[in-house]
Amino acid sequence: MPKDEQDGFPTILPMLGCTGNFETRYLPNSQAAEPGTDGPGAFPEDDNRSPDEPDPSQGPRTIYIHGHVSARLLKLPTSDDPAPSPAPVCIAATHIDGLVLALTPFHHSCNYRSVVVHGLATLVIDQDEKDYAMHLITDNVLAMRWANSRTPPTKAELQSTSLLRIDIVNASAKIRIGGPSDDRHDLKDEEVTGGVWAGTVPMYLQYGEPIESSYNQVKTVPRYLEEWRRKENTEAKENAEQAVREVKKK
């Protein structure tokens, strides 16, 4: 977000969010951004993709993030302004898949997936779009939770929550996979290779057994929650271990 006028540094806010596309959900496909076009929300075509890989130009071009109402957020232009001047923002996220341990600390690393997105942000005011974004973000955290909780939000809840719509201008990603890589002289040194363990420790998030609240009256953990937990735990472990086995493409 733009810098704070008082200290001159950029404003940094931790917020939850996910990609979505409100326009293409309600408007004809002809009104969506076309592949290969320039401007906010457009992605360049990649001729090196295999036929089985999804076309990034067909994916969501908007990120919705939410948080508690604050003075800084309220200064942003709203989505229904006649001529809004969106604020430039930067979104960064990193997911660690493992600790890569080489023969020497100099070559220690991590397997990771990292992305930086630059975009233009406005406050979401339209109620339909706000409902869509809240539903989207909730189910992105826990699938089917929106439909299995007390909804819709109350007026007080809506008034205390801000939603930002960020139209993506450009993005870059960096990924590290595989095992450690050491210098040739260390690999030929039997004293080093025989005395130092080298390899990768997979790192992944695991969801534990649900613990009910003091006022919970539903005695059985819902099926959707258990299925989601098992699926997330399995996929997280598989992804972290697969990152070790894969050979980095050049």
Residue-wise pLDDT tens digits, 35-46: 333 333 333 344
- 78-106 confidence digits (pLDDT tens): 656 555 678 899 999 999 999 999 999 99
Mean per-residue pLDDT of the chain: 82
Q: Does the pLDDT at position 165 exceed 60?
A: yes
CATH class of this structure's domain 16-245? mainly beta
pTM (predicted TM-score): 0.76
Q: Is the pLDDT of residue 63 over 50?
A: yes
Q: Note the pLDDT tens digit of each residue in 191-229.
A: 999 999 999 999 999 999 999 999 999 999 999 999 999
The letter for the amino acid at 15 is: M
